[in-house]
Amino acid sequence: MDDYAEQLRANRAEKDDFFAEHPQSPVPPEHREGFEGLNYFPPDPEYRLTASVTVHDDPEPVEMATSDGRTVRYERVATFGFELDGESLRLHGYRQDGGADEPVFVPFRDKTTGQETYADGRYMELEVEGALAERAEVPLDLNLAYSPFCAYSETFSCPLPPEENWLAVAVRAGERTPDL
């Protein structure tokens, strides 16, 4: 865990630098000078999971509401099953336009949403080596959960996690509520 925790901390520091200094940072320019980094839960090996994969051969379209009131269309390409805190849970993964090479988008809410984490939910992106259909299991690391760009500025439009991805447990891993 020590190597993993150090690597995770290094990745977080790199992201903090991007948010503080890069012209494409979602942090509004007037807040960048005082920006001291994102808030995170400590790295926790309990949230590094293995999930079973059910690939949907004929993906169903899912219309997701966005933070600015529009809707965006995704396809439900997979369902990930896993155990957390003694509960059997599942999250659905989505892609736009059937892009088999793009990461699987996993937006979700949990019992920390709006209290310890961003009020509209968090995201994960699963990079899967090879074809998803060839995998029985994938790593699912909730320590990598992050707040969408709309958490920092209303100029961004972000998909909101559909109700099918609302978890009835607290996920105290990844990014916490942004503090700007």
- Per-residue pLDDT tens for 32-44? 888 999 999 999 9
- Structure-token pair, residue 44: 């926790």
Q: Is the pLDDT of residue 74 over 70?
A: yes
- Per-residue pLDDT tens for 98-156? 667 789 999 999 999 999 999 999 999 998 776 776 778 899 999 999 999 999 999 99
pLDDT score of 133: 67
pLDDT score of 19: 94
Distance in angstroms (rounded) separating the CA atoms of residues 158 and 72: 9
Asked if residues 156 and 28 have their Cβ atoms less than 8 Å apart, the reply is no
* Total number of residues shown for the chain: 180
pLDDT score of 127: 85
| Span 67-74, average pLDDT | 95
Taking the model in full, what pTM does it have?
Answer: 0.92
pLDDT range class, residue 48, cuts 50, 70, 90: very high
pLDDT score of 174: 97
Angstrom distances, CA of residue 18 to CA of 12, 103, 125: 10, 21, 18
Burial 72-109 (b: 16+ CB within 10 A, else e): eebbbbbbbebebeeeebebbbbbeeeeeeeebbbbbb
% of residues, the chain, pLDDT over 90 = 79
Q: Where would I find the H helices in 22-154?
A: 29-32
pLDDT score of 83: 96
